[in-house]
Structure 1
Amino acid sequence: MPVLVITGTGTEVGKTVATAAVAAAAVAAGRSVAVLKPAQTGVGPDERGDADEIARLAGDVTARELARYPEPLAPATAALRAGLAPVRPHEVAEAAAKLATEHDLVLVEGAGGLLVRFDADGGTLADAASLLGAPVLVVVTAGLGTLNTTELTARELRTRGLDLLGVVIGSWPAEPDLACRCNVTDLPETAGAPLLGALPEAAGALPPPAFRSLAPTWLAPRLDGTWNASAFTGREAPAPFTGGGA
């Protein structure tokens, strides 16, 4: 798995922090890691982007951006409004393939969801993954609505013949509600792929040394971690309803 594409079911699902955790776990396992952010939006020229944040949290990783646009919009729209060249899927694939010749693992972090457009021709992260022949990791939310967005993403990956490696919950609340506790058991069936981790909420606010130390405990062995899905699911599953009916 020299290249792993990481997408989310939408924005603000914890994708960047999850990518940092995957990177940190791989580094802890002795692998050299590069992180590629094809299109960074919503930051100025001198501001830190997602790739920089991943490097800050994960430690010794190579961080690279292909393009950045100042407005917090989909990359195609942000590029058009800024009068800048868009990123094309083949450019993403070429950059990731080059990094893969120099690193054990390359993580390609998308912007928002799988089908967010990079350019006016409709190129997406899914197209880049197809060109690379790379598996895709999907970062999902824990609460109400996640089953729908997860299944839609999984169906699109299957339609395109892409390998869905698994799903990771980007932010697991300290006090999960009923929906969260049910979803954690339903997500693997909905996705048709294993649950490969769950990051605690506010994980990205941890000091980097603590983040790097704990990251492997949030991820399954497939992602160089020690997290056990069966144990987590059993512990967090809701108690059965025992009330009577009217």
Structure 2
Amino acid sequence: MPGVPDAKVLVVTGTGTEIGKTVTTAAVAAVAVRAGRSVAVLKPAQTGLAPGEPGDADEVARLAGGAVTPVELARYPEPLAPGTAAARAGLAPVRPAEVAEAALELAASHDLVLVEGAGGLLVHFDAEGASLADAARLLGAPVLVVAQAGLGTLNSVQLTAEALRARGLAQAGVVIGSWPREPGLAERCNVGDLPRVAGAPLVGAVPAGAGALPAAAFRARAAQWLGAELGGSWDGEEFARRAG
């Protein structure tokens, strides 16, 4: 697996929406900032927000610290897939080449660039079906997969992993984006099954509600939620033992 703490660009995707992708991105950024690295977060397409409203990149910067540079390439008002939202708004779609160019430009002045997608890996950017996967391929960057904890996650993680392998993309591991305070049987079993179906290690688990913490508390705790692969101190073996 790529040495993520030393990577210049890391693409962050999810297996769906509302699963903790932005909070996970913020945790990765916070750990990097605490290690003395300059960080930029790039959101290729933000949907469902009006002009002037804080977007996902702004939320990452708020949680991780003012040293993070937030960049958004395109914004569409309706909460839809970027390609659909762009078409309905009569606006130009974002293209993978634009994403790659912006990420490389940021990488020239930052130690780490986090590219946070919208929804899942293959959500369409445009009418031709271009996606975050195409941008990752242009960048040659590893992809971190943020997944749900409960029922249904194994199928979506395996499908995402297969899509990554089919495109020759390196997977930087799986992070559970919202680990419940009182996990049920499915969540506990999934801890052991996720690495197997992903073909990549479980490299973190962010507790549910972490994004609601005061920013200072979030930054202080972020390393406890991420494994050494992401620069943190989270112990995957101990987590699996406790979950079992």
Q: Normalising by structure 2, what TM-score?
A: 0.97
Q: 1:100 aligns with which of 97, 107, 119?
A: 107
Amino acid aligned to 2:114: L
Residue 222 (str. 1) matches residue 229 (str. 2) = yes
Residue 31 (str. 1) matches residue 46 (str. 2) = no
Distance, in Å, in 2 between the alignment partners of 1:231 and 1:30 is 27
Amino acid aligned to 2:62: R
Distance, in Å, in 1 between the alignment partners of 2:97 and 2:52 is 27
Distance, in Å, in 1 between the alignment partners of 2:231 and 2:180 is 23
Q: Which has the larger radius of gyration?
A: 1
State the match for 2:70 in structure 1: 63
Displacement, 1:122?
Answer: 1.0
Deviation digits for residues 24-52 of structure 1 (CA, Å, limit 9, x no counterpart)? 01101111100000000000001110001
CA RMSD of aligned residues (A): 0.5
Residue 8 (str. 1) matches residue 14 (str. 2) = yes
Counting aligned pairs with the same residue, the percent is 72
Which runs of 5 or more structure 1 residues have no equivalent in the other structure?
Answer: 238-246
Distance, in Å, in 2 between the alignment partners of 1:105 and 1:54 is 14
Distance, in Å, in 2 between the alignment partners of 1:222 and 1:232 is 15
Amino acid aligned to 1:21: A
Displacement, 1:113?
Answer: 0.1
Deviation digits for residues 71-127 of structure 1 (CA, Å, limit 9, x no counterpart)? 000000100111111000000000001100100100000000000000111110000
Deviation digits for residues 207-239 of structure 1 (CA, Å, limit 9, x no counterpart)? 0000000000100011110001011001111xx
Distance, in Å, in 1 between the alignment partners of 2:171 and 2:178 is 20
Amino acid aligned to 1:231: E
State the match for 1:143 in structure 2: 150
Distance, in Å, in 2 between the alignment partners of 1:32 and 1:229 is 27
Distance, in Å, in 2 between the alignment partners of 1:191 and 1:166 is 8
Structure 1: which 4+ aligned runs deviate by more than 6 Å?
A: none
Q: Normalising by structure 1, what TM-score?
A: 0.96
Distance, in Å, in 1 between the alignment partners of 2:129 and 2:243 is 40
Distance, in Å, in 1 between the alignment partners of 2:36 and 2:52 is 31
Which runs of 5 or more structure 2 residues have no equivalent in the other structure?
Answer: 1-6
Residue 41 (str. 1) matches residue 34 (str. 2) = no
State the match for 2:28 in structure 1: 22
3-state SS of 1:174 partner: coil
Distance, in Å, in 2 between the alignment partners of 1:9 and 1:112 is 7
State the match for 1:113 in structure 2: 120
3-state SS of 1:62 partner: strand
Distance, in Å, in 1 between the alignment partners of 2:229 and 2:30 is 14
Amino acid aligned to 1:176: P
3-state SS of 1:198 partner: strand
State the match for 2:205 in structure 1: 198
Distance, in Å, in 2 between the alignment partners of 1:65 and 1:196 is 27
Displacement, 1:7?
Answer: 0.1
State the match for 1:125 in structure 2: 132
